[in-house]
Amino acid sequence: AQSVTQLGSHVSVSEGALVLLRCNYSSSVPPYLFWYVQYPNQGLQLLLKYTTGATLVKGINGFEAEFKKSETSFHLTKPSAHMSDAAEYFCAVIPDSSYKLIFGSGTRLLVRP
């Protein structure tokens, strides 16, 4: 079965520092990959997605992610953290044509002033 693993339930960085949130997936074929952000008591907002084509994907709010097939990874990065980036981040995958999103366990990003 398809699964998504997010390493680190909490990541803490200083404002202005690099943000790196890790995501690995298990799949025998390249899936569709997504990163979502969730603010408290709110729904999910799409940050970026990978479907086909360029493996480096740029999203909103300065985030980007790189699809690495050899490593089955789709890590999320941002060069410089902002206080407003503090939130929960979910990596997700659609492994087939069902539209069903399978979510990772989430990583809470804390940004220190």
Residues that bind another protein (CB under 8 A): 32, 34, 41-46, 49, 51-52, 90, 94, 96-106, 108
- Residue 60: CB atoms within 10 A of its CB come to 10
Q: Of 17 and 38, which has the nearer Cβ to another protein?
A: 38
Please, which residues bridge with residue 77 across strands? 20, 64
Closest distance to another protein from the beta carbon of 94 (Å): 6
Closest distance to another protein from the beta carbon of 36 (Å): 8
Q: Of 54 and 99, which has the nearer Cβ to another protein?
A: 99
Q: Of 30 and 62, which has the nearer Cβ to another protein?
A: 30
Closest distance to another protein from the beta carbon of 42 (Å): 6
Strand residue runs (E) in 1-113: 3-5, 10-14, 19-21, 24-26, 32-38, 44-50, 56-58, 64-68, 73-78, 87-94, 102-103, 107-112
